[in-house]
Amino acid sequence: MKRNKLKSFVIPSFLSLVALIALLTGALLPNKKDVEQDKPHTYVSDSIISNDTAVIKTDTKIINPYTDQAVTLAKSYYDYKSDAKTQENSIIYHDNTYMQNSGIDFTSENTFECIAVLNGEVTNVKEDETLGKIVEIKHDNDYISIYQSLSEVLVKKGDIVSQGQVIGKSGTNELDKEIGNHLHFEFYVNGQVVDPSLYLNKELNTKSE
C-alpha cells in the first residue's frame, strides 16, 4: 500500500494554524481573576443578624385613690389579727349596731377628687341611701375596687378608665356621718374583700402578708 507523505510546506502551515487557534481561545475565555471579581460579595455576617429581642420589664403600682396631700386616714380596715386599738378604730357604729369596717376611709376638710387605682372597666354605678354614690371598677388579676360615699360621679357603667383618672369626688353618707367628708374605699381579690392597705402602693402582683 502506498503511503502519502505531507509535503514540507504543509507542516509549518498546520503548526501556525494550531498556534492561532490557541491564541484566539485564550483571548476569548474569561480571565479567572476577572470571574472572581464579578462574583457578588456578602458583607453581613451571622453575628449581625439576630433574632434576639430586648425585653424591658415594667411594673405597675396600685396607687392611692386620691392625690390631694391633705387627705388623711380616718378609719382602717378591720383585721382580727390587729391590736385592740387598731380594731377599735375599725369599728362602725350605725343604727345601734356595731359593724366591722370592710374598707378604708380617707377624709379631708374639703372635697377631694377620687381616682382609679388601676386601669379597668366601670362595672357598676349606683346610689345607695346609706352608702351614698358608688362606683365599682374591675381590673386585671381579678381585682375589683369600690368607691363609696361619693358626692359626684364622673363615669358611667361600661367606661374604660385609666389609672389615675378622676372618677368622682368625695362626699358624705349615712353610715359614717361622724367622719364627714370622706371616701370609703374597698378592694376585692378573687371575689374576697381584703385589707386595701396590703395592696395600695404595692407592685401589681405583690402584696404584704
Continuous H helices in the chain: 10-28, 32-38, 84-88
| 185 domain-assigned | yes
Per-residue pLDDT of the chain (209 residues), as tens digits, is 444 444 454 445 545 555 555 555 555 555 544 444 444 443 333 333 334 433 333 468 999 999 999 999 999 999 888 888 888 888 888 778 888 899 999 999 999 999 999 999 999 999 999 999 999 999 999 999 999 999 999 999 999 999 999 999 999 999 988 899 999 999 999 999 999 999 999 987 655 55
Kindly report the CATH number assigned to the domain that includes residue 130: 2.70.70.10
| 126 domain-assigned | yes
| 136 domain-assigned | yes
- The pLDDT value recorded for residue 27 is 52
Q: Please tell me the distance from the alpha carbon of residue 134 to that of residue 126, in angstroms, as a whole number.
A: 5
Number of structural domains, the chain?
1
| 37 domain-assigned | no
Q: What secondary structure letter does DSSP report for 131?
A: T
Q: Which three cell numbers stand for residue 112?
A: 377631694
| 34 domain-assigned | no
- The pLDDT value recorded for residue 96 is 80
Under a CB-based contact definition with an 8 Å cutoff, are residues 185 and 132 in contact? no
Residue 163 structural domain: 72-198
| 138 domain-assigned | yes
Q: Please tell me the distance from the alpha carbon of residue 144 to that of residue 141, in angstroms, as a whole number.
A: 9
| 91 domain-assigned | yes
For the segment 148-198, what is each residue's pLDDT rounded down to a tens digit? 999 999 999 999 999 999 999 999 999 988 899 999 999 999 999 999 999
| 157 domain-assigned | yes
Under a CB-based contact definition with an 8 Å cutoff, are residues 141 and 97 in contact? no
